[in-house]
Amino acid sequence: KRRAQEADVAEPRNKLARPALSLPTDPALYSGPFPFYRRPSELGCFSLDAQRQYHGDAHALRYYSPPPTYGQGPKFDLRDGYPDRYQPRDEEVREGLDHLLRWLLDHRGQLEGGPGWLAGAIVTWRGHLTKLLTTPYEQQEGWQLAASRFQGTLYLSEVETPAARAQRLARSPLLRELMYMGYKFEQYMCADKPESSPDPSGDVNTNVAFCSVLRSRLGNHPLLFSGEVDCTDPQAPSTQPPTCYVELKTAKEMHRPGHWRSFYRHKLLKWWAQSFLLGVPNVVAGFRNPEGFVCSLKTFPTMEMFEYVRNDRDGWNPSVCMNFCAAFLSFAQNTVVQDDPRLVHLFSWEPGSPVTVSKHQDAPYAFLPTWYVEAMTQ
Ligand code: A3P
Ligand code: MG
Ligand code: MG
């Protein structure tokens, strides 16, 4: 039986060692002890405005402002304002790593970790790492990650699979409204200023985003990644990011033990992976009834999520998620040997199969923009 470690044999990068051709994803191969994961520290942040323009500041950060806990519970109508007060982001625009690269370009001179830290790091979106973490348990959606090495650094940028694109273009009216409802919940729970209250009368514009940029390390892989943050809690015990951040989520109201079980096995895994990577300590869930109203809230501490599936044979295991991610990063580091911003190794995965690789030059897969490559070459 092949063991997870075998994918690591080409470490360190060595032109004589032949990298593996594929990487298996079976959970049983990754059930070792939990690997080292450095406590993520925030290096900086940026905001995207209503026109999706980049700003090197925190103006889009919102403040956690839950309803009072006394009296009746909330009655948030998540369908209110749909579709007339909805300004959805144009999903045809492929942004790749652009916003993160803009931040990196502006701050490359001030990075901690010493000279050469960036050259040994992996740069990507938190959302891409989330997909890697959940891969051993994912049975529905595959992914593709494009990888390029430039000045030593390994950049990873997701490519929309043909199946995902087809699904997006065929998204049903019901699903579109459900997407809106997730953002509408944020509007009911967040204020624009720490001392003010939520204002659900305005538009829901999904171009707006606050992104935190963090440094971490998984095993021997230094990481620099960015992730969208829903809000900060002005009353959090520590005001230091990312520990003051709060992730907001909606889920269906559940009434039978079987519904909760399934929620713990599937949704909670994704919530855990997303928030654990960034170091967000709490996820606040709003449960919506069939009429689209949130009438109850529940806080799930990220570090307690695994307890819901610890004794479940069909549950997930954080060690498996992190060990697989580490194995994938080693696999990618060993595969992408040539330093060339126009060369792309495309890692592809479909449920039930191993991760495979193909090699491409320039368009359509190259993703490091000329403005970035030229500025970094100065
Ligand atoms: P939910 O929180 O209710 O899932 P996030 O939770 O990551 O902050 O995202 C906010 C909302 O964006 C989600 O609300 C959901 O409505 C929408 N969303 C995020 N990822 C999505 C995806 N992969 N497909 C569809 N909608 C998504
Ligand atoms: Mg969000
Ligand atoms: Mg959220």
For 194-236, the pLDDT digits (tens) are 999 999 999 999 999 999 999 999 999 999 999 999 999 999 9
Question: Residue 16 C-alpha to ligand 1 middle, in angstroms?
Answer: 44
Contact status, residue 64 vs residue 231, Cβ threshold 8 Å:
yes
Question: How many Å from the N-terminal Cα to the C-terminal Cα in the chain?
Answer: 49
CB 158 near ligand 1, within 6 Å: no
pLDDT for 269 beyond 80: yes
pLDDT on residue 1:
32
Contact status, residue 376 vs residue 151, Cβ threshold 8 Å:
yes
C-alpha–C-alpha distance, residues 7 and 356, integer Å: 12
E strand or H helix that includes residue 147? strand 143-150
* pLDDT tens per residue, range 306-316: 999 999 999 99
ipTM: 0.97
Ligand nearest to the CA of 184: 1
Question: Residue 179 C-alpha to ligand 1 middle, in angstroms?
Answer: 6
* pLDDT tens per residue, range 235-259: 999 999 999 999 999 999 999 999 9
Smallest CA separation from ligand 1 atom 18, residue: 179
E strand or H helix that includes residue 360? strand 355-361
Contact status, residue 97 vs residue 123, Cβ threshold 8 Å:
yes
Contact status, residue 285 vs residue 250, Cβ threshold 8 Å:
yes
115 pLDDT tier (thresholds 50, 70, 90):
confident
Smallest CA separation from ligand 1 atom 20, residue: 179
pLDDT, averaged across the chain? 96
With the most atoms of ligand 1 within 8 angstroms of its CB, the residue from 179, 184, 204, 206 to mutate is 179
Question: Residue 210 C-alpha to ligand 2 middle, in angstroms?
Answer: 9
219 to 216, 224, 330: CA distances (angstroms): 10, 14, 10
C-alpha–C-alpha distance, residues 119 and 104, integer Å: 13
Residues 46-70 have a mean pLDDT of 98
- Provide the 10 A C-beta neighbour count for residue 68: 8
Question: Residue 250 C-alpha to ligand 3 middle, in angstroms?
Answer: 8
* DSSP string computed for 86-134: EE---TTS--TTHHHHHHHHHHGGG-SS-TTTGGG-EEEEHHHHHHHHH
pLDDT on residue 114:
82
- Using left for φ > 0, alpha for ψ between -120 and 50, and beta otherwise, residue 342 falls in alpha
CB 182 near ligand 1, within 6 Å: yes
Contact status, residue 355 vs residue 347, Cβ threshold 8 Å:
yes
C-alpha–C-alpha distance, residues 175 and 181, integer Å: 10
CB 249 near ligand 1, within 6 Å: yes
C-alpha–C-alpha distance, residues 282 and 66, integer Å: 13
C-alpha–C-alpha distance, residues 211 and 229, integer Å: 6
CB 250 near ligand 1, within 6 Å: yes
Question: Residue 228 C-alpha to ligand 3 middle, in angstroms?
Answer: 9
Ligand nearest to the CA of 250: 1
Atom of ligand 1 nearest to the CA of 127: 7
Contact status, residue 149 vs residue 336, Cβ threshold 8 Å:
yes
pLDDT on residue 82:
98
Ligand nearest to the CA of 182: 1
Question: Residue 182 C-alpha to ligand 3 middle, in angstroms?
Answer: 7
What pTM was computed for the model? 0.96
Residues 268-277 have a mean pLDDT of 99
Residues 46-60 have a mean pLDDT of 99
C-alpha–C-alpha distance, residues 10 and 330, integer Å: 9
- Using left for φ > 0, alpha for ψ between -120 and 50, and beta otherwise, residue 154 falls in beta
| Closest listed residue to residue 154, CA positions, set 178, 128, 133 | 128
Cis amide bond preceding 364, omega within 30: yes
CB 131 near ligand 1, within 6 Å: no
16 pLDDT tier (thresholds 50, 70, 90):
low
Q: Which residues contact 141 (CB under 8 A, 6 or more apart)?
A: 161, 163, 164, 351
CB 183 near ligand 1, within 6 Å: yes
Question: Residue 363 C-alpha to ligand 1 middle, in angstroms?
Answer: 30
pLDDT on residue 14:
53
pLDDT on residue 320:
99
Burial label for 70, CB within 10 Å (0-12, 13-18, 19+), is exposed
Residues 57-82 have a mean pLDDT of 96
* pLDDT tens per residue, range 149-187: 999 999 999 999 999 999 999 999 999 999 999 999 999
C-alpha–C-alpha distance, residues 189 and 230, integer Å: 10
Residues 94-109 have a mean pLDDT of 98
> Could you tell me the strand order of the sheet in which 355-361 lies?
22-23, 355-361, 343-349, 143-150, 153-159, 122-125, 221-228, 209-218, 41-48, 54-55
C-alpha–C-alpha distance, residues 360 and 146, integer Å: 9
CB 111 near ligand 1, within 6 Å: no
8-17, 228-237, 342-351: the lowest-pLDDT one: 8-17
19 pLDDT tier (thresholds 50, 70, 90):
confident
pLDDT for 15 beyond 70: no
Smallest CA separation from ligand 1 atom 22, residue: 179
Atom of ligand 1 nearest to the CA of 249: 2
Residues 328-341 have a mean pLDDT of 98
CB 230 near ligand 1, within 6 Å: yes
Question: Residue 283 C-alpha to ligand 3 middle, in angstroms?
Answer: 8
> What 3-state class would DSSP assign to 331?
helix
CB 346 near ligand 1, within 6 Å: no
pLDDT for 21 beyond 80: yes
pLDDT for 58 beyond 60: yes
> Using N-to-C axis directions, what is the helix angle for 267-278 and 318-335, rounded to 10°?
60
